[in-house]
């Protein structure tokens, strides 16, 4: 754990930001990194809770207490290994995630006092890139099977990387001119510079992923061609159909969907400051600009905030951001979203902070648009609005009508679902909300076609997209393993390990029983819920009683399952289903220990011995410090040096 009682002695210091007056003059990132000593102090605040709610709050199941502790102890190289164990792109989440983990942190019981998890995450990955610790991890064996991943947002990138590391030949299709999806063309450079995305693209290339930018699957390549050329297809096409505002005057010029504006701005920034895309960008006949205009952004979410930030940097005369729903309370409403749930409270966005401090913008809630009217030039000139009733359907309150000048109106009211052409061509079923329906986890109604990210779960967050990409890759890998084994039709995997809901149930149970560490229990349970053969092996070797007693396996099984470490380790067992030779296994394990960051990397936390295959038995016996005294520990390790779950 961090410093004993550290959270009582050290104050939380949030991520430092560049001064508003300075940062609104350019497109560089506005988040800064603290000096190492301060970051270590922030890491020291983490209590390594027996019930680490942060871990549960994170959709990726990031090993947060572990890397907080490593940062506190100045062991950054091990920290990045832990971070990569569950997250392919921590620099995306470190910069962009709203941090549900912090909302769930135990210290957040005193509101606003959580460990600065996101800041530490970002600092670890920034340092790892600076030090050259982030290396490509090409597979050591080829499976000979081909996978097409359609869509290169965070979900598609994560799926492609995991599948490639598992040895499949992966082609990543993207209809835009560059890889990255919304992280590239939606989120502005001042939140994440595109060189940050580009270095991951290079990593994908060096690992052997084939990138095909500027290819619209369904038009340039037909669904039949795709099915004929690949053993499996992953749809990670995002959720891009925007919500309309059917008000009179909607067809006037100067009213645009937010995404059209954001794409334009991101392309402009790329042209000015790089990096240049590999395929030619489409030329817009009339670029959308906010320069010198009164801008109204309809929609109070992230997309709207990014429009405000861009309009400000373009030099808009005034900016107004409108939201239909009432203003949320300033503090966590305990009756609605008690800790550790995500609090539905008011948060001043970075962009609105900028707009307010420069006196260019304001934000209003409970506002409905009644119509648009034209200006002298025939384009939109004004927006007619009224106060909205607090309940659906949020109709206008009589007598509250007013008019706002507007030469540019941006509609940022959310997304309805994924585009339907490609799913229709493939014959894939969609659910009532028009998202691609998963009949089994990440598995669509069509054999060999999988779905991940916003296309499957609806418009969401980057952290969810990465998680979905990873999980989906695991399902595809298992599906392909079934085909490789020669079964007439590949077995669709039934079990994807514990779901978040299952983990929640486990946590409740652990809380109720109040005995050993919950993390330990969750892990043991995860091991027992893993594919049956593996579970049986573990049980036999652990001589375990019911799930909650698998104490000694806890850390390794949890980490191995959650990080899907077999993708990174290229284990012969995982590839072929047969047992590895001892030397193969040793090589795989020691290489994984250095590179992939699953359970083996945790050994230095508990033991100062160097990691070598020879040391495994000693190390594995010392690793699980959360077992109560007298619990049998990792018995099999003294007999066999080959981890059983590989
Ligand atoms: C403006 C904006 C700002 C956001 N900011 C944040 C934030 O700060 N933090 C956060 O956590 N989340 C944020 N989000 C949400 C987040 O970006 C998404 O949840 C995430 O990017 C979804 O990833 P994805 O891979 O599922 O889809 P996407 O990122 O949408 O990627 C899908 C890709 O598929 C491609 N594609 C679609 N159809 C085809 C086809 N037929 N052929 C080839 N390619 C195709 C698209 O061009 C696109 O590149 C934001 C969203 C928006 C719109
Ligand atoms: S809940 Fe907070 S204090 Fe506890 S382990 Fe997680 S980050 Fe540390």
- pLDDT for the residue 578: 39
Q: Is 572 in the pocket of ligand 1 (CB under 6 A)?
A: no
433 plus 407 within the same structural domain = no
Residues 71 and 110 in one domain: yes
Residue among 153, 154, 347 to mutate when testing ligand 1 (max atoms within 8 A of CB):
153
Nearest residue to 170 via CA among 179, 178, 161: 161
Backbone torsions φ then ψ of 526, nearest 5 degrees:
-60, -40
pLDDT of residue 280: 80
Q: Please state, in angstroms and rounded to a whole number, the distance separating the CA atoms of residues 541 and 635.
A: 7
Interatomic CA distance for residues 453 and 469, integer angstroms = 6
Arithmetic mean of pLDDT, 539-567: 36
Nearest to 565 by CA among 573, 454, 456: 573
**Banded pLDDT at 282 (limits 50, 70, 90):** confident
Cα 303 to ligand 1 centroid, rounded to whole Å: 11
Ramachandran assignment for 34, one of left (phi > 0), alpha (psi -120 to 50 degrees), beta (any other): beta
* 192 Cα–ligand 1 center, Å: 14
Residue bearing the CA closest to ligand 1, atom 35: 151
Higher pLDDT, 236 or 504: 236
Q: What's the count of helices (H) and strands (E) in the chain, helices before strands?
A: 28, 15
Distance of CA 54 from the midpoint of ligand 2 (Å): 6
Band (pLDDT 50/70/90 cuts) for residue 483 is confident
Beta carbons of 345 and 332 less than 8 angstroms apart:
yes
Among 63-77, 254-268, 358-372, 606-620, the least confident range: 606-620
Ligand showing the shortest atom-to-Cα distance for residue 157: 1
Ligand nearest to the CA of 176: 1
Per DSSP, 221 falls in state B
In angstroms, rounded to a whole number, what is the distance separating the alpha carbons of residues 640 and 322? Answer: 64
Domain end call among 425, 455, 484: 484
DSSP run (H or E) holding 154: helix 154-165
Report CA torsion sign: 146, 147, 152, 156: negative
Burial class (CB in 10 A: 0-12, 13-18, 19+), 521: buried
Cis amide bond preceding 603, omega within 30: no
Q: In which band, very low, low, confident or very high, does the pLDDT at 50 lie, cut at 50, 70 and 90? A: confident
Give the gyration radius of the chain's Cα atoms. 25
* pLDDT-wise least confident of 149-163, 177-191, 548-562: 548-562
Indicate which CATH number applies to the domain containing 31: 1.10.1060.10
Final residue belonging to a domain, choices 131, 163, 195: 131
Comparing 117-131, 184-198, 476-490, 503-517, the range with the smallest average pLDDT is 503-517
Confidence of residue 503 (pLDDT cuts 50, 70, 90): low
Q: How far is CA 448 from CA 83, 276, 602, in A?
A: 31, 35, 36
In a mutational test of the pocket of ligand 2, which residue from 5, 107, 119 has the highest number of ligand atoms less than 8 Å from its CB? 107
Name beta bridge partners: 242. Answer: 415
Residue 295 has pLDDT above 70, yes or no: yes
| 488-492 average pLDDT score | 49
**Per-residue pLDDT band at 281 (split at 50, 70, 90):** confident
Are 340 and 469 in a shared domain? no
The span from the first CA to the last CA of the chain, in angstroms, equals 29
Domain that holds residue 555: 501-642
pLDDT band at 279 (very low <50, low <70, confident <90, very high): confident
Alpha-carbon distance of 596 to 613, in angstroms, equals 16
Buried/exposed 333-366: b ≥16 CB within 10 Å, e otherwise: eeeeeebbeebeeeeebbbbbbbeeeebbebebb
Contacts of 422 (CB under 8 A, 6+ apart): 150, 217, 218, 223, 235, 237
Task: Give the confidence band of 505 by pLDDT, cuts at 50, 70, 90.
Answer: low
CA of 121 to the centre of ligand 2 (A): 13
Asked, for residue 496, whether it belongs to a domain, the answer is no
The model's pLDDT over 173-226, given as tens digits with 9 standing for 90+, comes to: 999 999 999 999 999 999 999 999 999 999 999 999 999 999 999 999 999 999
Residue 255: alpha-carbon gap to chain centroid? 31
Backbone angles phi, psi at 217, to 5 degrees: -70, 135
- Number of domains comprising the chain: 4
197 located within any domain: yes
Does pLDDT of 516 surpass 60?
no
What would the DSSP string read from start to end of 536-598?
A: HHHHHHHT--SGGG-GGGHHHHHHHHHHTHHHHHT-HHHHHSSPPPHHHHHHHHHHHHHHT-S
Residues 570 and 540 in one domain: yes
Q: What is the predicted pLDDT for the residue at 548? A: 33
Range 19-44 average pLDDT: 95
Instruction: Give me the chain's average pLDDT, please.
Output: 81
Whether the Cβ atoms of residue 218 and residue 425 lie closer than 8 Å to each other: yes
Using the mean position of ligand 2's atoms as its centre, give its distance from the Cα of residue 48 in Å. 6
Give dist(CA 529, CA 428) in Å, integer: 29
What DSSP element (H or E) covers 385? strand 380-387
Q: Which residue's CA is the nearest one to ligand 2's atom 5?
A: 48
Q: Whole-structure pTM over 0.85, yes or no? A: no
- What is the pLDDT at residue 631? 37
What is the biggest distance separating any 2 CA atoms in the chain, rounded to whole angstroms? 85
Cβ pair 374, 261 in contact under 8 A: no
605, pLDDT greater than 80: no
Q: Using the atom order of ligand 2, give the atom closest to the CA of residue 53.
A: 1
Q: Indicate whether 522 and 473 sit together in one domain.
A: no
Q: Does 1 reside within a domain? A: no
**For residue 564, is pLDDT > 80?**
no
**Are residue 254 and residue 344 in the same domain, yes or no?**
yes
CATH of residue 371's domain is 3.50.50.60
- pLDDT of 513 higher than 50: no
In a shared domain, residues 169 and 262: no
The pLDDT, as a whole number, for residue 504 is 65
pLDDT tier for residue 543 given thresholds of 50, 70 and 90: very low
Span 579-584, average pLDDT: 43
User: Taking CB atoms and a 6 Å cutoff, what residues make up the pocket around ligand 2?
Assistant: 46-49, 52-54, 64-65, 68, 105-107, 115, 117
- Regarding whether 543 and 576 lie in a shared domain, the answer is yes
Spacing, Cα 79 to ligand 2 middle (Å): 16
Atom of ligand 1 nearest to the CA of 217: 42
Q: What is the pLDDT of residue 500?
A: 64
Is 492 part of any domain?
no
Distance CA 570, CA 580 (A): 11
Q: How far is residue 154's CA from residue 464's CA, in Å, rounded to a whole number? A: 9
**pLDDT for the residue 606:** 33
- Residue nearest atom 2 of ligand 2, based on CA coordinates: 105
pLDDT at 568: 28
DSSP run (H or E) holding 522: helix 518-529
* Helix ranges, 343-487 (H): 350-357, 421-426, 454-457, 462-484
If asked whether residues 444 and 345 sit together in one domain, one would say no
Nearest to 95 by CA among 199, 17, 203, 179: 17
Same domain, 102 and 53: yes
Residue bearing the CA closest to ligand 2, atom 4: 49
Is 479 inside any structural domain?
yes
User: What tens digit of pLDDT does each residue of 121-146 get?
Assistant: 999 999 999 999 999 999 999 999 99
Does 517 lie in the same domain as 463?
no
Percent helix, strand, coil in the chain (nearest 5)?
Answer: 45, 10, 45
Over residues 516-526, mean pLDDT: 41
- Which stretch of 146-155, 384-393, 479-488 has the lowest confidence by average pLDDT? 479-488
Mean of the pLDDT values across residues 599-616?
A: 32
Among residues 357, 385, 413, which one ends one of the domains? 413
In a domain, 139, yes or no: no
- Whether 30 has a pLDDT exceeding 70, the answer reads yes
The reply to whether 471 and 515 lie within a common domain is no
pLDDT digits (tens, 9 = 90+) for 413-437: 999 999 999 999 999 999 999 999 9
Q: What is the DSSP string of 296-337?
A: EEE--SHHHHHHHHHHHHHT-SEEEEE-SSPPPPSS--TTTS
Average pLDDT over residues 287-291: 93
pLDDT score of 571 more than 70 = no
Query: Degrees (nearest 5) of the Cα angle 316, 322, 326?
Result: 155
Q: What is the pLDDT of residue 172?
A: 97
Pick 285 or 538 by higher pLDDT: 285
- pLDDT tens per residue across span 225-278: 999 999 999 999 999 999 999 999 999 999 999 999 999 999 999 999 988 887
The length of the chain in residues reads 646
What does the pLDDT read at residue 555? 38
Residue 64's contacts (CB-CB under 8 Å, 6 or more residues apart) are: 46, 52, 54, 55, 58, 101, 115, 117
């Amino acid at each position: 754990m961090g410093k004993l009682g550290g959270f009582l002695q050290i104050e939380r210091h949030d991520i430092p930001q560049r001064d508003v007056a300075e940062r609104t003059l350019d497109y560089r990132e506005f988040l800064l990194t603290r000096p190492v000593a301060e970051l270590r102090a922030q890491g020291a605040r983490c209590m390594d809770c027996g019930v680490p709610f942060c871990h549960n709050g994170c959709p990726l199941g990031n090993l947060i207490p572990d890397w907080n502790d490593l940062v506190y102890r100045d062991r950054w190289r091990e920290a990045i290994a832990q971070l990569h164990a569950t997250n392919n792109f921590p620099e995306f989440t470190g910069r962009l995630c709203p941090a549900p983990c912090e909302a769930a942190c135990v210290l957040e019981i005193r509101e606003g006092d959580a460990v600065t998890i996101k800041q530490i995450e970002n600092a670890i990955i920034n340092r790892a890139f600076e030090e050259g610790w982030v290396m490509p991890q090409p597979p050591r064996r080829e499976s000979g099977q081909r996978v097409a991943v359609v869509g290169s947002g965070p979900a598609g990138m994560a799926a492609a990387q995991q599948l490639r590391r598992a040895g499949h030949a992966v082609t990543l299709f993207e209809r835009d001119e560059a890889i990255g999806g919304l992280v590239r063309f939606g989120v502005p450079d001042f939140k994440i510079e595109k060189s940050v995305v580009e270095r991951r693209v290079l990593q994908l290339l060096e690992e052997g992923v084939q990138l095909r930018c500027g290819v619209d699957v369904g038009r340039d390549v037909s669904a039949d061609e795709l099915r004929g050329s690949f053993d499996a297809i992953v749809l990670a096409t995002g959720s891009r159909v925007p919500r309309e505002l059917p008000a009179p005057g909607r067809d006037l010029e100067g009213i645009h969907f937010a995404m059209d504006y954001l794409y334009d701005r991101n392309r402009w920034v790329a042209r000015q400051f790089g990096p240049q895309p590999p395929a030619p960008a489409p030329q817009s006949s009339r670029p959308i600009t906010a320069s010198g205009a009164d801008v109204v952004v309809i929609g109070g979410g992230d997309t709207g905030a990014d429009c405000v930030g861009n309009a400000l940097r373009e030099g808009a005369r005034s900016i107004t951001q409108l939201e239909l729903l009432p203003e949320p309370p300033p503090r966590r409403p305990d009756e609605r979203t008690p800790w550790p749930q995500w609090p539905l409270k008011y948060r001043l966005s970075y962009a609105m902070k900028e707009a307010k401090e420069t006196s260019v913008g304001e934000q209003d809630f409970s506002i409905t648009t009644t119509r648009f009217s034209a200006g002298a030039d025939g384009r939109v000139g004004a927006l007619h609005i009224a106060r909205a009733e607090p309940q659906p359907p949020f109709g206008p309150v009589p007598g509250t009508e007013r008019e706002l000048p507007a030469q540019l109106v941006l509609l940022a009211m959310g997304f309805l679902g994924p585009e339907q052409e490609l799913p229709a061509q493939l014959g894939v079923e969609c659910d009532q909300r028009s998202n691609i329906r998963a009949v089994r986890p990440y598995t669509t109604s069509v054999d060999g076609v999988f779905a991940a990210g916003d296309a499957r779960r609806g418009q969401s967050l980057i952290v969810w997209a990465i998680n979905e990409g990873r999980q989906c890759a695991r399902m595809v890998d298992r599906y392909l393993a079934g085909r490789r084994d020669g079964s007439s039709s590949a077995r669709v995997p039934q079990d994807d390990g514990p779901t978040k809901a299952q983990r929640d149930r486990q946590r409740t149970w652990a809380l109720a029983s109040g005995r050993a560490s919950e993390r330990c229990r969750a892990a043991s349970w995860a091991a027992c819920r893993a594919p049956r053969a593996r579970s049986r092996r573990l049980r036999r070797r652990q001589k375990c009683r019911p799930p909650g007693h698998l104490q000694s396996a806890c850390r390794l099984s949890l980490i191995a399952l959650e990080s899907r470490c077999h993708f990174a380790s290229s284990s012969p067992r995982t590839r072929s289903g047969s047992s590895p030779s001892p030397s193969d296994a040793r090589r795989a394990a020691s290489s994984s220990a250095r590179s992939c960051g699953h359970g083996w990397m945790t050994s230095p936390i508990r033991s100062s011995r160097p990691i070598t295959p020879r040391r495994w038995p000693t190390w594995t016996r010392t690793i699980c410090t959360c077992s109560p005294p007298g619990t049998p520990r990792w018995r099999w390790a003294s007999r066999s040096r080959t981890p059983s779950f590989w």
